[in-house]
Structure 1
Amino acid sequence: MSLFRLDASILPATSASHSLADLVEAEWTSSHPDSTVTRRDLSVDPVPATTWAAAVTAKFVSPEDRSDEQRRAQALASTFADEMLQADALLFAVPLYNYGVSQHFKTWFDLAYTEPRIDPQGTALRGKPATLVTVLGGNYSPGTPKEGWDHSTGWLRRVLEDVWGLDLRIVQRPFTLVGVNPALDAFTEVANELKQQAEESARTYGRELAATRQKRAA
């Protein structure tokens, strides 16, 4: 049994997404104590933005004429694919940054997307159980003043669930900047409730992640 975990927080030591992902992982390892967890932390080992272009342009050049940079880009894309394909379940921890998708995750996805085994024509990832943990500094839920400002979660769902076909569950925690930004102090009680709800969802989805894999293996 194996779990692949990807973290995209730029501040892993104090990351809310990292903490929630830890809860998911703890439930997984509780059910599968002998399993292997493969981790990729994009803050520690970021993917250079130029790598995606190198992998894309390599497809238009004969293998013998590809540059060293193009070969390295394709090899890294293959590594990304291997990490997901060899895992029994997937865990992604991706914060909302500046109302959009984390550039670390987007660069990782763009490069992985060049790999023929996991592009839209591929079916290797379809049905694989996965959990997405995402956190938001504010609250962009329906009825809030900034409703619709979260331009990350919807995109993440599209690429993970619809493009790659993962069996996806989402844990979301809003208001992580309450207690950090004094302008949000009035929302302390609400933020604490949302934090507790997110933590419970993380534990529940962690158990479901492990159970889904057990059903697939049966």
Structure 2
Amino acid sequence: MATLLHIDSALFPQGSASRDVTAAFVSAWREQHPTGRIIYRDLAAHPLPHLDAAAAAAGAESPLRAELAGELAEADAVLIGAPMYNFSIPSTLKAWLDHAIIAGHNGGGAESPLAGTPFTVVASRGGSYAPGTPREGFEFVQNYLEKLLTGMFGAEVDFIIPELTLAASQPAMAEFIPLAEASRTKALEDAASKAKALATRLAA
């Protein structure tokens, strides 16, 4: 029985592209694992405190950090909703990462006990920051999380990227609505297919 750790960080519970796609992933995962376990954290509804000196010094002896690291240790796979806010990740997600990553405990690259754990990140964004676009150099969500999760955990990291999510609400982006709709459709399809493939792989 596989365990999925699901983290959402989008501010709004409704109308969130990242939440819609993580929900599609979870739905497909449940189809494969109807009796499986899902550990869920909504970092917008229940934000964590910023890492302070006491918690940093305590490491795995901090009750909160031990709890978060324990959830990671229990997970066979991790799903993270990471919308782009001001070119980077939500501060709530950064707080979770700061608490959950504990050097000498689970942070250690290839030597980490989490090495090889599959992480799926839904990195939604209002515009396009794909290679070759004018704002390529402003993309600090995918680049950051890939480096962090592979560097600290030795994780296997995969991304689903619904983009141009602001096209329907911003008149200046109206011409990009068809591309936004296509990106959303592909993201939802990718979420379902990747969840099923991953669940099947872990059950083997």
Report the more deviating stretch, 2-11 or 205-214: 205-214
Taking the TM superposition and a 5 Å limit, the aligned residue runs for 1:61-76 are: 74-76=62-64
List per-residue Cα deviations over 1:139-187 (Å, max 9, x = no partner): 1112222122111111111112332122222111110111112211111
Q: Is the 8 A contact 1:93 1:134 kept in 2?
A: yes
Taking the TM superposition and a 5 Å limit, the aligned residue runs for 1:149-168 are: 149-168=138-157
> In the superposition, relative to structure 1, how do residues 117 and 212 fare at CA in structure 2: closer, same or farther (>3 Å)?
farther
Structure 1 length normalisation: TM-score?
Answer: 0.86
User: Secondary structure of 1:10's match?
Assistant: coil
Residue 85, structure 1, aligned to residue 73, structure 2: yes
| Shift of residue 212, structure 1, vs aligned partner | 2.4
- Identity of counterpart residues, as a percentage? 30
Distance 2:66 2:131 in 1: 40
Higher Rg = 1
User: Secondary structure of 1:114's match?
Assistant: coil
Distance 2:57 2:68 in 1: 18
| Shift of residue 115, structure 1, vs aligned partner | 5.9
* Alignment counterpart, residue 99 of structure 1, candidates 84, 87, 98: 87
5+ long unaligned stretches in structure 2: none
User: Secondary structure of 1:143's match?
Assistant: coil
Please list every run of at least 4 consecutive aligned residues from structure 1 whose deviation after the TM superposition is greater than 4 angstroms. Answer: none
| Shift of residue 90, structure 1, vs aligned partner | 1.2
Q: Is the 8 A contact 1:5 1:38 kept in 2?
A: yes
Q: Is the 8 A contact 2:119 2:158 kept in 1?
A: yes
| Shift of residue 6, structure 1, vs aligned partner | 0.6
User: Secondary structure of 1:25's match?
Assistant: helix
Structure 2 length normalisation: TM-score?
Answer: 0.92
| Match in the other structure for 1:48 | 49
* Alignment counterpart, residue 120 of structure 1, candidates 108, 111, 120: 108
Q: Is the 8 A contact 2:112 2:152 kept in 1?
A: no
Residue type of the alignment partner of 1:29? R
Distance 1:201 1:18 in 2: 14
